[in-house]
Amino acid sequence: MSLIRDQGIKKICLFGGTICPRSETLLAGSGSIFIMSKNITQLAAPVDVKDAFGRPLHDLRISVIDRCNYRCPYCMPAEIYGESYKFLSRKHWLTAGEIKRIASLFIQLGVAKVRITGGEPLLRKDIVEIVSSLSDLPGLDLALTSNGSLLASHAKDLKKAGLKRITISLDSLDESVFSEMSGRKGEVSRVLQGIEAAQSVGLTPIKINVVIQKGKNDHTVLDLIDQFRGSDTIVRFIEYMDVGTLNGWRLDEVVSSASLVEQISARWPLKPVEPNYLGEVANRYIFEDGKGEVGFISSVSEPFCGDCHRARISADGTIYTCLFAKDGISIREQLRAGASDSDLIGFLQGIWRNRKDRYSEQRRENNEIRKTENSRVEMYRMGG
Ligand code: SAM
Ligand code: SF4
Ligand code: SF4
């Protein structure tokens, strides 16, 4: 190899069936290497991997913490997550460096979008370091989801660290409705200050996530639209989902996106527009008067498993291939035991290739599914 380098050769192409695992060591440090093979298991460049239904891996959601300063009843009901609840201990959290390494492995398998989430990600003291190290990864679309309560003081640093976009959750502008939906922890004014701060540093366009629960906040939908219509902020309504097993979900508490579209259209006519890309979770609508856009995430009434290309990883390094997974597979031990990149890539490829998840479609096909499945992982743990 040094002979080749001495001859001034900078690019080497390898053709063949299966690449010898040793070739990676052999070629290390030899310049630009392109491996061309029909049956690659060890990689030097990004490659698409498909799951059992032919779905690629495109997005990664990274939960950086399982704790939260809210107790939204649909996510972390206060009666269960009280003072004495034992969350992950800090030594089990992936470090900023480990998160970066895992993200870079996923990128080699086709991931182009990473969303940092939780729990509440801004509760992590090193959140700016995490964002900064991920933003070093070339070509990555980096976003973060937050409840916005601590955003006013973080927005500038997050932007400076390389964050591109932010989604902020705000279920109502009505103080008493919002208080109830955040488990008596949230204040509307603080979230609005966070949104303003994000706007002023250019973390735009901002998306606002609104979970709608029948009888709780569905009567405040138009106020939310009114607040953000005419700005470049996009409000997105999410159907209340049966994630986890602790929120006491009932189908009759779900307000379908179709009925919301009808309700909003009666005041401000809407028309549907094409998705920005295949697999976009929200159905997009624009106001006919040109005053912006609104989105609907209809995971209950119109499941979108067919295009689902998202993997999730929890704060302790467990990988999940579906929001409704009963269990996941840990990568942390291998990482800490010194596994090589090629070993870890093979491991991740294996997980994705075996993926057969399509829970929301199954739920629609068979409403009884919920009764038989009582061990699903909670959303705040695996990352929403
Ligand atoms: N704490 C941050 C927040 O609330 O934005 C990030 C994590 S949270 C789990 C991510 C998103 O999941 C939020 O927009 C939240 O409203 C949504 N979510 C949580 N539980 C849900 C449920 N049962 N149904 C629908 N959306 C839910
Ligand atoms: Fe916390 Fe977000 Fe869950 Fe609400 S939805 S409890 S803010 S993690
Ligand atoms: Fe994806 Fe699972 Fe949701 Fe279907 S149910 S869209 S597979 S996360």
Backbone φ, ψ for residue 37 (5° rounding): -150, 150
Distance CA 253, CA 266 (A): 22
Domain residue limits, the chain: 1-42, 59-308+378-382
Please give the single-letter amino acid code of residue 374.
N
Edge-first strand order for the sheet with 59-63 is: 270-273, 283-287, 293-297, 234-239, 207-212, 165-169, 141-146, 113-117, 59-63, 310-313, 318-320, 329-330
Give the nearest ligand 3 atom to 360 CA.
5
- CATH class of the domain defined by 59-308+378-382: alpha beta
First CA to last CA across the chain, in angstroms?
47
Long-range contacts: 340-344, Cβ < 8 Å, 24+? 341/105, 341/108, 342/21, 342/24, 342/42, 342/43, 344/102, 344/105
Q: For every one of its 384 residues, what pLDDT tens digit does the chain have, with 9 covering 90 and above?
A: 333 333 333 333 333 333 333 233 333 333 333 333 333 334 445 677 999 999 999 999 999 999 999 999 999 999 999 888 999 999 999 999 999 999 999 999 999 999 999 999 999 999 999 999 999 999 899 999 999 999 999 999 999 999 999 999 999 999 999 999 999 999 999 999 999 999 999 999 999 999 999 999 999 999 999 999 999 999 999 999 988 888 889 999 999 999 999 999 999 999 999 999 888 999 999 999 999 999 999 999 999 999 999 999 999 999 999 999 999 999 999 999 999 999 999 999 999 999 999 999 998 887 644 544 567 888 888 877
- Does residue 118's CB lie within 6 angstroms of at least one atom of ligand 2? yes
Distance 33 CA to ligand 3 centre (A): 36
Residues with CB under 6 A from ligand 1: 68, 74-75, 117-118, 120, 145-147, 169, 209, 211, 238, 240-241, 243, 247, 379-380, 384
- Three-state SS for 362? helix
- Output the pTM of the full model: 0.88
If you search the block for the tokens 């070993």, which residue do you land on?
A: 343
